[in-house]
Amino acid sequence: MALISVGIDHENASLDLLERATVLEHEWSKVLRSLLSQRNIHEAVFVSTCLRTEVVAVIDRFHGAIDEITHTLSEATGLEPSEFADHLSVHFDRGVATHLFSVAAGLKSVVPGEFEILGQLRRALELATEEQTAGPEITELFQRAISTGRRVRSETQIARGTTSFAQASVMMATEELGVDLEGADVLIIGAGQLAGGIARSLLARPARLARLTIANRTSSTAQRLLGELRDDRVALATLEDVATLVSEARLVVAAVEVAQPVVTRDDLARCQQRVLIVDLGLPRAVSSDMEDLENVQRIDIGDLRERVGQALGDRRESFEEARAIVDDDVERYLSDQRARGAAAIVSELREHFDDVVSTEMARRESELDDLTPEQREKVASLLRSVVAKIAHHPTVALKEAAGTDQGTRLSEATRNLFDL
């Protein structure tokens, strides 16, 4: 069996394709069950973020698994395979560890070093565990990747400054775009981790807001965030209130997962003052047909990616340090995997030889009646010694080649030759 990752991400696909490839959270369990029903897939984790839709799996046949994962992604997203086949990011065996460890380290994020990805990977693994699609191999892979992500953030400066979508979006709105929020009304659509981060960043800025309203589909989630913020400027609303609130706001930040936009062109056309829309949703939570509206300025994840990239020149050295940590941890992980893989088959081979000795001694017991117990033990010891010498070279070869293509071939040949 082998590891594979197949996905659509912002490095290889347009924002439009990413938006169309988004799988809403209530569908994730269904995707996992579909993956495990496939012939070549034995373990699977499904990672879905605003800029990444990806499957990491333990498989049998490479091409068969690619076809099965592509088919599952097609069913989950409603896209034809031909629409995303040329934009897939595919990694195999060693490449899977390098890729996932880099993702966890924040090296493949729009905002390098951002910490939200660690929570997203942890949630993906937890769901796979709940659905019983994550076995020991893929569980260790994700746990080691998450550990590397934490190590990168503690040992390098990659997390210095703007380290999240929340901080980056607030920075753009209030600094780079010159939005004055002193005494302003702000609307945040959503109440999840991203929305909470945005709210905290806004409330902590020197410019004192008049009011920050959180509009969310689920009132219990919004109430929880309200309790965490503990600020008398914060109010709650529902998604049905958004149309009215938009017309009163100076800044609107959409950080919510919805199938259809919750802010329409008609809502924005009623705005009497200038309003900045920051749409961090995929699919987009704000209608995009607003270019001719005088009072509306809009930025989305694509703009965020471009602006953050321009502002990170002083962290290039930290990127190299982070990559070195990733490379080091990947080597440690693969070395541990090789050692375990070699130990397993060597153990099976030795057990097989021990069984051969025991079986033959039992089968020929009647022929040894004239021997004393001590003499019998000497015969058995001699047999074990001969077998151990025969097994020595195959054992050494298996250990030395573990984790390589040759090691895979030797392991398969050993299993076939000795019926392990």
In this structure, the answer to whether residues 136 and 176 fall within a common structural domain is no
Q: Which are the contacts of 15, defined by CB distance < 8 A and separation ≥ 6?
A: 282, 300, 301, 302
CATH of the domain at 138: 3.30.460.30
Which residues are designated catalytic?
50
Looking at the domain assignment, is residue 365 inside a domain? yes
pLDDT of residue 313: 56
Query: Residue 348 sits in which domain range?
Result: 341-418
Looking at the domain assignment, is residue 54 inside a domain? yes
> What residue has token string 């090691």?
407
Chain centroid to Cα 62, Å, comes to 21
In this structure, the answer to whether residues 71 and 196 fall within a common structural domain is no
Domain end (from 245, 280, 306): 306
In this structure, the answer to whether residues 292 and 350 fall within a common structural domain is no
In this structure, the answer to whether residues 9 and 157 fall within a common structural domain is yes
CA distance 225 to 303: 27
In this structure, the answer to whether residues 76 and 138 fall within a common structural domain is yes
pLDDT of residue 324: 94
| Residues 200-216: tens digit of each pLDDT | 888 888 878 899 999 99
- Give DSSP secondary structure letters for 145-211: HHHHHHHHHHHSSTTSS--SHHHHHHHIIIIIT----TT-EEEEE--SHHHHHHHHHHHTSSSPPSE
Domain end (from 161, 181, 198): 161
Looking at the domain assignment, is residue 327 inside a domain? no
Residue 2 falls in which region: left (phi positive, over 0), alpha (psi -120 to 50) or beta: beta
CA distance 176 to 174: 6
In this structure, the answer to whether residues 181 and 139 fall within a common structural domain is no
Residues in the chain: 420
Domain end (from 161, 185, 209): 161
In this structure, the answer to whether residues 367 and 235 fall within a common structural domain is no
pTM across the whole model: 0.67
Looking at the domain assignment, is residue 212 inside a domain? yes
Total count of domains within the chain? 3
Q: Are 349 and 394 in contact (CB under 8 A)?
A: yes
Q: Tokens representing 259? A: 């199938």
CATH of the domain at 242: 3.40.50.720
In this structure, the answer to whether residues 93 and 169 fall within a common structural domain is no
Q: Are 165 and 223 in contact (CB under 8 A)?
A: no
Looking at the domain assignment, is residue 387 inside a domain? yes
pLDDT of residue 65: 93
In this structure, the answer to whether residues 136 and 175 fall within a common structural domain is no
In this structure, the answer to whether residues 38 and 145 fall within a common structural domain is yes
In this structure, the answer to whether residues 10 and 88 fall within a common structural domain is yes
Contacts 24+ apart (CB under 8 A), 135-139: 135/42, 135/43, 135/58, 137/1, 137/3, 137/43, 137/58, 138/3, 138/43, 138/44, 138/45, 138/56, 138/57, 138/58
Looking at the domain assignment, is residue 356 inside a domain? yes
Looking at the domain assignment, is residue 322 inside a domain? no
- Give DSSP secondary structure letters for 327-379: HHHHHHHHHHHHHHHHHHHHHHHHHHHHHHHHHHHHHTGGGGTTS-HHHHHHH
Cα angle: 52, vertex 237, 284; to 5 degrees: 25
CA distance 192 to 404: 43
Q: Which are the contacts of 238, defined by CB distance < 8 A and separation ≥ 6?
A: 215, 216, 217, 219
Mean pLDDT by 10 residues, the chain (420 residues): 90 81 89 95 92 92 93 93 92 93 90 82 96 95 96 84 64 67 89 83 85 91 91 92 89 83 85 84 78 82 68 68 94 80 74 83 81 84 84 78 70 78
In this structure, the answer to whether residues 219 and 97 fall within a common structural domain is no
